[in-house]
Amino acid sequence: MSRTVKIDQLADEVMKGLQEYKDLAVNDLKKDVQKAAKTVQDQIKSNAPKKTGRYARSWASKKTKETSDSIAYTVHSKNRYQLTHLLENGHAKRGGGRVRAIPHIAPAEAAGAEQLVKDVERDLRKGG
């Protein structure tokens, strides 16, 4: 005995299932992005130059954009933003010569991106 199902009903059920999966995946993705931003912030704080510690403490992460299916975080220095480029890349001294670069932002960014990829892959493997 066979059961007949209209194609429209089948398509509707498949679309409902896909929408549920998308919602679960988006929620996991948002959590993963937040976790990666926190990791980048923490790594920059721990690897930043610490003459007085003020520069290292100035790093924060902030949610800059969120929609129903996306999220964006910005990791930034709250009050010492003028120093970031100079410390990361080095700079010329007033009387000649150069100050050495202290890379602390790029390595943290790379580690955060790597962690995000691993977390997203893990979440997609587990099914949303």
Residue 68 lies in a domain: yes
pLDDT (tens digit per residue) in 12-49? 888 888 888 887 788 889 999 999 999 999 999 999 99
Structure token digits, residue 117: 């990829």
Residue 19 lies in a domain: yes
> Between residues 8 and 32, which one has the greater pLDDT?
32
* Contact indicator for 37, 26 with CB cutoff of 8 Å: no
Calculate the CA 6 to chain-centre distance: 44
What angle, rounded to 10 degrees, do the helices at 105-126 and 7-47 form?
150
Residue 105 lies in a domain: yes
pLDDT exceeds 60 at position 128: no
DSSP letter at 67? -
On the 0-12 / 13-18 / 19+ scale of CB atoms within 10 A, 7 is: exposed
- How many domains is the chain partitioned into structurally? 1
pLDDT exceeds 70 at position 59: yes
Residue 54 lies in a domain: yes
Residue 2 lies in a domain: no
pLDDT score of 4: 66
* Domain residue limits at 59: 7-126
Task: Give the range among 7-11, 24-28, 83-87, 108-112 with minimum mean pLDDT.
Answer: 7-11
DSSP for 32-55?
Answer: HHHHHHHHHHHHHHHHS--SSSHH
Q: Rounded distance, CA 128 to CA 25, Å?
A: 4
The CB density around residue 77, as the number of other CB atoms within 10 Å, is 19
Residue 1 lies in a domain: no
Q: Rounded distance, CA 89 to CA 83, Å?
A: 10
pLDDT band at 69 (very low <50, low <70, confident <90, very high): confident
